Amino acid sequence: QQQVKQSPQSLIVQKGGISIINCAYENTAFDYFPWYQQFPGKGPALLIAIRPDVSEKKEGRFTISFNKSAKQFSLHIMDSQPGDSATYFCAASNSGANNLFFGTGTRLTVIP
Amino acid sequence: EAGVAQSPRYKIIEKRQSVAFWCNPISGHATLYWYQQILGQGPKLLIQFQNNGVVDDSQLPKDRFSAERLKGVDSTLKIQPAKLEDSAVYLCASSLDWLQGEKLFFGSGTQLSVL
């Protein structure tokens, strides 16, 4: 059973546009929701994370929106750049970095 | 700051053979994780160590997979015998401490192909 469902599977955005990736979860015990960015041939790297006591967190061009009642959270990349082209994974856990459940990933391509 | 080191980078074996992967976490990180990432999927946790003790190995196929972290620093993951479905990237990650750490630092992984 997939603990975290992620969509879309792939996304193509023009340079300067907004990229939006969505995730949904079922386990209400989850209290930590990170997003990881992975470039080909590299391991995932933490991009941004949120806990459910806030509905939004922004770091530079990256924003997480969190909807606790709907059990959904999303990543918004503003002013998308070709260098943002990578695979993005959402994840969730009920104990920080321990036992993270990852989504299936979204392959983002930003066209110049 | 040196990152998580893994070797080898690639490994090709035939089914029923054995294989081992090595990981050296970031210095001072007490918690070490092994993840399996099958092509087109997200990483899946196999085993988690806190120092040299196992915290969680509930998703490790123990009939063929084993892992150790004898001195609480580097770790080895072994598969014996390998099956075709074990073809994946094996990622090692570390964090500061399992109670306080939130950020996982991943290595570049070992890509395993089982023929």
Question: pLDDT tens digits for A77-92?
Answer: 999 999 999 999 999 9
- Nearest C-alpha in B relative to A47: B103
pLDDT of A94 above 80: yes
Residue pair B11/B111 in contact (Cβ under 8 Å)? The answer is yes
pLDDT tens across B6-53, in order?
999 999 999 999 999 999 999 999 999 999 999 989 999 999 999 989
Task: Give the Cβ contact number of residue B51 at 10 Å.
Answer: 14
Q: Are B49 and B27 spatial neighbours (Cβ–Cβ below 8 Å)?
A: no
- Place B96 in a pLDDT band, splitting at 50, 70 and 90: confident
- The verdict on a CB contact (< 8 Å) between A100 and B106 is no
Tell me the two tokens of residue B40.
């087109």
Interatomic CA distance for residues A20 and A43, integer angstroms: 22
List Cβ neighbours of A51 (8 Å cut-off, separation of 6 or more).
A31, A32, A33
Q: Averaged over B65-75, what is the pLDDT? A: 93
With 0-12 CB in 10 A as exposed, 13-18 as middle and 19+ as buried, what is A54?
Answer: exposed
Q: Does B91 touch chain A (CB under 8 A)?
A: yes
Identify the residue whose tokens are 């509905």.
A55
A102/B42 Cβ within 8 A: yes
Question: pLDDT band at B72, cuts 50/70/90?
Answer: confident
B74 vs B25: CA distance, rounded Å: 6
Return the SS3 of B9: coil
